Structure 1
Amino acid sequence: MISARGIKKQFGDLQVLKGIDLDINSGEVVSIVGPSGAGKTTLLQILGTLDKPNAGDVIINNTSIRDLSEKELAQFRNENIGFVFQFHQLLPEFNAIENITLPALIAGKNKAKSEEKARYLLSFLQLNNRETHKPAELSGGEKQRVAIARALINNPAVVFADEPTGSLDSQNQEELHKLFFQLRDEFKQTFVIVTHDLHLAHLSDREIKMKDGFVL
C-alpha cells in the first residue's frame, strides 16, 4: 500500500534521513517510534507528501509521488491522505461541521452530502451534540476527534498522525488509542502514527523503530 525506497533528506549540512526503505500494508496500524531527532516526523511528512525527499521515492496505492506535478500532488493528497496533528489545527472561526467538511468542499464534493457524512462521523465519534460548536467550545479530546473526522471525510486510503495523543490527558489518550483501531475496523483505512507514547506503539500492529536517520 505504501512503499518507500532510498529516502534521504537533509537540511543544509544536517542529514536527517539516511536511506529509508519500508513497506506498509493496507489496513495496518503502524507506529513509528524512536528518540527525539531520529527523523520520525520528517519521514512522516515525506510519506504523507507534505515534504519531498532529496533522494528516493514514495509509492502510495501504485502511484509514484515523485512523478506528480504540484497540482497533481495536491489533488492526490486531498483524495487519498488524511492528517491528524498533535494540536488539532482546527480553524477557530469554523464550527465542527464546517471544519470537518472543508477537505470535501476543496475536492468539489456536494455540500449537503459532505455535511451528512460529517454528521455520521461525529455520531460515530460520539460527538453528535457538538456539531455547531467552535474549537474554543470543545475540550482537548473533542477537538482531536473533530480533527480525526476531518481526516476521514474524503475516505482516504491512509491517515497519518503526528503525536496525536501528545496534547491529551491520560483518559483521552486511552480513548484515542481504542478509537484508532475502531476506525481501522470500521473504515478499513491504514494508519501511520508517529508517537513517543509507548503504550500506543505497543498496541499497534507493527512498530517501525528509528534511530539517527535509519530504520532499525
Structure 2
Amino acid sequence: MIKLRDIQKSFGDLKVLKGIDLEIHEKEIVSIVGPSGSGKTTLLQIMGTLDKPDQGSIEIKGKKIDGLKDKELAIFRNQEIGFIFQFHQLLPEFTAVENIMMPALIGGLSKSKAQDRAMELLDLLGLKERAEHKPNELSGGEKQRVAVARALINDPAVVLADEPSGSLDTQNKEELHQLFFDLRDQLGQTFVIVTHDEKLAQLTDRTIHLIDGQLNDK
C-alpha cells in the first residue's frame, strides 16, 4: 500500500530523516513511535504528500508520487489520503456535518451526495444527533470523531493520524483507539498512526520505532 525508499529530509543543517526504507501493507494498522524530535511527524507528512523529501521515492497504492505536479498531487491527496490531527482542526463556524463534507466538496462531489455520505459516517460513529452542532458545542471525544469522519468522507485508501488521542481523556482515548480497528474491519482502510501512547502502540498490528531520523527495529 505504501512504499518508501531512502527517504531523506533536512531543515537547514539539521538532518531529520536519514534514509528511511519502509513498506506498509493494505489494511494494516501501524504505529510510529519515538522520542520528540525523532522525525515522526516529518515522516508522516512526507507519507501524506504534505511535504517533499530531499531524496528518495514514495509509492502509494501502486502510484509513484515523486514527480507529480502540485495539482496532480492535491487531487491524489484528496482522493486517497485522510488526515486526523491531535487537535481535530475543525472549522469553528461550520457544523459537524459541514466540516465532514469539506473534502468531498473539494473533490467535486455534489452537495447533496456529500451531505448524505457525511450523515452515513456520523451515524456509523454514533453522532447522527450531533450533525448540526458546531465544534464549540461538542465534547473533545465528539470533535475527534467528527475529524475521523472527515478523514473518511472520500473513502481514502490510507488514513494518517498524528497523535490523534493526545488531547483526550482516558475513556475517550480508549474509544478512539477501538474505533480505528472497527473502521479497518468495516471499511478496509490502512492506518498509520504517530503516537506517544504506549497502549495504542501495543494494540497496533506493527510498531515502527524511529530514533534520530532512522528506523530502529526492536
User: If the length of structure 2 is used for normalisation, what is the TM-score?
Assistant: 0.98
Q: 2:67, 2:36 → 1: CA distance?
A: 31
Q: 2:122, 2:200 → 1: CA distance?
A: 23
Is 1:113–2:140 an aligned residue pair? no
Determine the structure 1 residue equivalent to 2:188.
Answer: 188
Determine the structure 2 residue equivalent to 1:13.
Answer: 13
Q: 2:201, 2:127 → 1: CA distance?
A: 26
Query: Cα offset for 1:111?
Result: 1.2
Determine the structure 2 residue equivalent to 1:35.
Answer: 35
Deviates more, 1:112-121 or 1:190-199: 112-121
Determine the structure 2 residue equivalent to 1:199.
Answer: 199
Gaps of 5+ in 1: none
Question: Aligned to 1:21, what secondary structure does the other structure show?
Answer: strand
For residues 82-109 of structure 1, the C-alpha deviation after alignment (integer angstroms, 9 at most, x for no partner) is 0000000100000001000000000110
Q: 1:210, 1:86 → 2: CA distance?
A: 19
Determine the structure 2 residue equivalent to 1:68.
Answer: 68
Q: 1:202, 1:167 → 2: CA distance?
A: 19
Q: 1:75, 1:38 → 2: CA distance?
A: 30
For residues 156-198 of structure 1, the C-alpha deviation after alignment (integer angstroms, 9 at most, x for no partner) is 0000000000000000000001000001001000000000001
Query: Cα offset for 1:134?
Result: 0.3
For residues 25-57 of structure 1, the C-alpha deviation after alignment (integer angstroms, 9 at most, x for no partner) is 000000000111111000000001000000001
Deviates more, 1:110-119 or 1:145-154: 110-119
Name the amino acid aligned to 1:86. Answer: Q
Determine the structure 1 residue equivalent to 2:96.
Answer: 96
Determine the structure 2 residue equivalent to 1:161.
Answer: 161
Identity of matched residues, %: 66
Query: Cα offset for 1:114?
Result: 1.1
Query: Cα offset for 1:136?
Result: 0.5
Name the amino acid aligned to 2:34. Answer: G
Question: Aligned to 2:150, what secondary structure does the other structure show?
Answer: helix
C-alpha root-mean-square deviation of aligned residues, in Å?
0.5
Determine the structure 2 residue equivalent to 1:174.
Answer: 174
Q: 1:96, 1:186 → 2: CA distance?
A: 22
Q: 2:56, 2:205 → 1: CA distance?
A: 26
Q: 1:9, 1:208 → 2: CA distance?
A: 18
Q: 2:41, 2:108 → 1: CA distance?
A: 30
Is 1:79–2:117 an aligned residue pair? no
